[in-house]
Structure 1
Amino acid sequence: MPATSTSPSLPHGWRLEHSYAQLPSVFHVAYKPTPVSRPEMVILNRPLAESLGLDPASLDNPALFAGNALPPGAHPLAQAYAGHQFGNFTMLGDGRAILLGEQLTPDGERFDIQLKGSGQTPFSRRGDGRATLGPMLREYVISEAMDALGIPTTRSLAVVTTGEVVYRTAPLPGAVLTRVAASHIRVGTFEYAAALDEKPNLQALADYTIQRHYPQAATTAQPYAAFLDAVIERQAALIARWQLVGFIHGVMNTDNMALSGETIDYGPCAFMEAYDPATVFSSIDHGGRYAYGSQPQIAQWNLARLAESLLPLIHQDAPQALDIANESIGRFGERFQHHWLVGMRAKLGLFTEESDDPALIDSLLEWMQRSQADFTNTFRALSSASSAMHSPEPAYREWHQRWQDRLTRQTSSASEVMASMRRHNPAIIPRNHKVEEALAAAVGNGDLRLLERLLAVLANPYDHTQEHPEEFSLPSKSEAYQTFCGT
């Protein structure tokens, strides 16, 4: 990690450092949030605050999370980056976000503290720099649900309203989200550096990212190739985890792929209900580029853009650099398949490996697609003793017998199998209609009761013993569901 001036932890717990600001000035612009008229607290994530070393009692000041006041030691800035958005390259940057600094936790971990929706910046590109309450609460709910599911993710510390109207398709209440991330360095940050075509800047960014997230790569003979390999491995594991719970990101642009390996930017995201690899919820994804079944391929495509950006560092000989990069990118599919297969075996209670396991898994998924079976509830039912009665269809019963026969070829007891399956198959996910119901109540009349109830249920997704109200387990009755990016 680049040297920083470490200040002692203050009584309220803020301990902000600014290592990113030591990168060349092309990567950031010092810029303050734009104050709002009447900030009011909507929700504060007290457990997260405590884990960051902050005193929740000192955080009940909404001005602190609206940008009207800054925490001690903050030096706000907007980050520069680029991105391929639906395949089209664009120079971007934080158009509505401000990085306050990096909080050092009592355990010595480093997390970005960012305000999202905090006003215009030099990168706003004619945008208003603001956010609306619905999408900010959506990010709060889904990011916290993802964390409870054990999936690497940015977190949400607070949401405040601004007392101001933001105009989208209609006038909507403005809001600011405080996002916590291992960092906000993206594939698009490297694309931005490569587009500037100044190798010292690219190398400074790469060295910084290696030191912050992949220090082991610095000790290898080819640190930048090792860095690329490490990012590929982490992303393969992340996307596999998405697939294993039916999560659809919705807008996998290269500026929305964090090199830390966290899920970032919860715009038009949702969870698949009826299993179908072609499932798309985003209102702007007309061609299905970011469909559920396409997410692994898109991740590999995004990583290829990272590899292109790193070519000048990977090897001084351009053809050799390209060969090294292509070999690394070519391994993504194998690494994704490994992580996905490990996860699917766990979902089916398989403690051993057999060569026919992929065929067994594919048969189940094919039946689920034909039957329009709910993804989460199918695996939830398999995790109970009544799974044989999940469907009267002969095709399912034939598959179920194959699965039972497979289980007999391992030494684990039935109770061990069921216990393991319950640890890997969530009983609860953020059902799209329940999320919308909670957001509508919060945005429409300020009623947070549904939101708080939803968050409480989602906090323990693998607890199959608690009596969840049936409404949180049932799929939506409506086949048509759309999400919107919120910008």
Structure 2
Amino acid sequence: MAFHLPFTDNLALVQSISPTPIPNPYWVGFSASVANLLGIPTTDNLPINPDYLNLLAGNQSHIGDQSYKTYATAYSGHQFGSWAGQLGDGRAIYLGDIHGQEVQLKGAGQTAYSRMGDGRAVLRSSIREFLCSEAMHFLGVPTSRALAVVGSDMLVMRESPETTAVCTRVAPSFLRIGHIEHYGHNQMWHELSLTLDYLIEHHYPECHHSPTPYLALLDQISLKTARMVAKWQSLGFCHGVLNTDNTSLLGLTLDYGPFGFLDQFQVDHICNHSDHGGRYSYHRQPEILHWNIYCLASAMLQPLQQELKRVRGIDGDEAIEYIKNTLNNYNKEYVKTWQTLFRKKLGLSTESEQDITLLEELLQTLHREKVDFTLFFRNLSEGLGVPTSMNSWYDTYKERLDIDKQSTDRRLESMQAVNPKYVLRNHLAQHAIELAQKKDFSEVSRLLKILEDPFTNQAVPESYALGPPPELAAISISCSS
């Protein structure tokens, strides 16, 4: 049973609501891997029970004699650095828990938190979220996952009319910083404590052993978030909208909107054309998530101060300094994880004082020469060398390999295990979307299969591993979904 259900008598927090049906639903994409996680029997990569189509379309709330109590939750948050007030599940409706996973239908209709929105998601954004959720999982990134996309010919208006879809999202929990901010901002101390206790009981049991469990919880969320964003940076992944209401309390990648994997490396790349100031550009992602963790600490301040006064005998400014010192662990964890990941990408099995300079010079050179990020590291891991413009850096790198004293075969094998050949590039997703808009879903299935094995050379055209052709290099992605 999901933690939210005890709050269903408080309409300021949770709304019990049924999804709004869509006409004539059809399968667009389905993940047998996620179905297996949820214990859903499949055949030919679709559920054996045909009723799942209507369940995941939002057209019914039961499978056989199993009924689901569907609901949506309130949260608040900071958007682009400014307090936005109450937000909430404006188009996501919970089915509840299946095999220990929370399941949401994104695009299943209006809720009490939809504000002026229609509660729908469009086919375009649903396919992108479906494919990237699974791609990130198989790249080893902590993430929500996606079971399915169900489409319909029903039209909704965005910049132009688009067909609607429902994406089924799956995670151990969809709790986000915005939930804690909502309770803290509105001084809902009872609900805040219940939620923090739930997190410790179900997701951070190690915090039970700390004399200050809430502070330990804040620290663990911070560390998980630091590891997650370090993984993003190592893969050249840009999220695009790192608002606090899009930031998981479990250190998961949530809410795939205007994301993008870097093609030509630019350290200040902005993947969201609505981000005019570059707040969520590639190089700022670690800093912004640290800022979001500070927002979490601020929302938790009352119970944190009470705990520190009771256990440590400190309060006021001293308690705040204590909390700040805990938050400094984020930067230490991020730097440590980032360095470890990039050493692995370069096949370095030992540490050397010169590594930081080597890594910094590499990123500066990739930026200056606008080198394809994924392709560079993959070619390096296959022993294919580097562009001639990078020969100076490459000579230094080879000298560093001599210090490492690892066999070439072993090094290349280890590098290929961490440097993917295939990522969800925007032009690949766009091609699948354009075919799907013509009712051809074969490319969605094909891309999913490729992305489920991103580190292995596959019997597919080499174009799936390459950057976009020049005419597709500037695909622009917005928040519209």
Please tell me the TM-score bracket, short chain as reference.
over 0.9
Aligned residue among 404, 425, 431 for 2:398: 404
Contact 2:2 2:102 in 1 (8 A): no
Structure 2 equivalent of residue 392 of structure 1 = 388
CA–CA distance in structure 2, aligned partners of residues 279 and 332 of structure 1: 23
Aligned residue among 61, 82, 87 for 1:92: 87
> Residue 61 of structure 1: CA displacement?
3.8
Structure 2 equivalent of residue 460 of structure 1 = 453
How many residue pairs get aligned? The number is 460
Letter of the aligned partner of 1:470 in structure 2?
Answer: E
Where structure 1 has 5 or more consecutive residues not aligned to the other structure, the ranges are 1-16, 105-109
CA–CA distance in structure 2, aligned partners of residues 458 and 198 of structure 1: 43
Letter of the aligned partner of 2:391 in structure 1?
Answer: R
Aligned residue among 347, 353, 371 for 2:369: 371
CA–CA distance in structure 1, aligned partners of residues 97 and 179 of structure 2: 18
Structure 2 equivalent of residue 30 of structure 1 = 16
Is 2:64 aligned against 1:64? Answer: no
CA–CA distance in structure 2, aligned partners of residues 49 and 198 of structure 1: 37
CA–CA distance in structure 1, aligned partners of residues 341 and 122 of structure 2: 36
Letter of the aligned partner of 2:59 in structure 1?
Answer: N
Aligned residue among 254, 264, 267 for 1:277: 267
Contact 1:41 1:60 in 2 (8 A): no
CA 296–408 in structure 1, closer or farther in 2 if over 3 Å, else same = same
> Residue 27 of structure 1: CA displacement?
2.9
- SS across alignment from 2:102: strand
Structure 1 equivalent of residue 3 of structure 2 = 19
State the percentage of identical aligned residues: 37
Instruction: Tell me whether 445-454 or 434-443 shows the greater mean CA deviation.
Output: 445-454
What is the CA deviation profile of residues 237-259 of structure 1, one whole-angstrom value per residue up to 9, with x for unaligned ones?
00000001111000000010111
- SS across alignment from 2:103: strand
Contact 2:142 2:252 in 1 (8 A): yes
CA 338–181 in structure 1, closer or farther in 2 if over 3 Å, else same = same
CA–CA distance in structure 2, aligned partners of residues 354 and 60 of structure 1: 58
Is 2:431 aligned against 1:417? Answer: no
CA–CA distance in structure 2, aligned partners of residues 436 and 339 of structure 1: 32
Contact 2:28 2:436 in 1 (8 A): no
Structure 1 equivalent of residue 165 of structure 2 = 175
Structure 2 equivalent of residue 8 of structure 1 = none
- SS across alignment from 1:354: coil
CA–CA distance in structure 1, aligned partners of residues 95 and 51 of structure 2: 18
* Aligned pairs for 1:73-92 within 5 A: 73-90=67-84, 91-92=86-87
- SS across alignment from 1:124: coil
What is the CA deviation profile of residues 296-324 of structure 1, one whole-angstrom value per residue up to 9, with x for unaligned ones?
00000100000101111112224233112
CA–CA distance in structure 2, aligned partners of residues 162 and 322 of structure 1: 52
CA–CA distance in structure 1, aligned partners of residues 23 and 444 of structure 2: 25
Structure 1 equivalent of residue 133 of structure 2 = 143
Contact 1:78 1:121 in 2 (8 A): yes
Aligned residue among 93, 98, 117 for 1:103: 98
Where structure 2 has 5 or more consecutive residues not aligned to the other structure, the ranges are 42-46, 307-314
CA–CA distance in structure 1, aligned partners of residues 94 and 33 of structure 2: 21
Instruction: Tell me whether 159-168 or 59-68 shows the greater mean CA deviation.
Output: 59-68
Aligned-CA RMSD value:
1.5
Structure 2 equivalent of residue 449 of structure 1 = 442
Instruction: Tell me whether 445-454 or 131-140 shows the greater mean CA deviation.
Output: 445-454
CA–CA distance in structure 1, aligned partners of residues 377 and 459 of structure 2: 18
> Residue 386 of structure 1: CA displacement?
2.5
TM-score normalized by the length of structure 2: 0.93
What is the CA deviation profile of residues 62-105 of structure 1, one whole-angstrom value per residue up to 9, with x for unaligned ones?
2111111113231111011011111121211111111111112x
Letter of the aligned partner of 1:448 in structure 2?
Answer: F
> Residue 28 of structure 1: CA displacement?
1.5
What is the CA deviation profile of residues 179-229 of structure 1, one whole-angstrom value per residue up to 9, with x for unaligned ones?
101111001110001011132221111111121211111221011110011
Letter of the aligned partner of 2:242 in structure 1?
Answer: M
> Residue 291 of structure 1: CA displacement?
0.3
Aligned residue among 184, 187, 211 for 1:197: 187
Is 2:25 aligned against 1:39? Answer: yes
TM-score normalized by the length of structure 1: 0.92
Contact 1:281 1:481 in 2 (8 A): no
Instruction: Tell me whether 399-408 or 122-131 shows the greater mean CA deviation.
Output: 399-408
Is 2:227 aligned against 1:237? Answer: yes
Aligned residue among 338, 344, 347 for 1:346: 344
> Residue 467 of structure 1: CA displacement?
4.1
Letter of the aligned partner of 1:421 in structure 2?
Answer: M
CA–CA distance in structure 1, aligned partners of residues 168 and 81 of structure 2: 29
CA–CA distance in structure 2, aligned partners of residues 320 and 201 of structure 1: 26
CA 468–44 in structure 1, closer or farther in 2 if over 3 Å, else same = closer
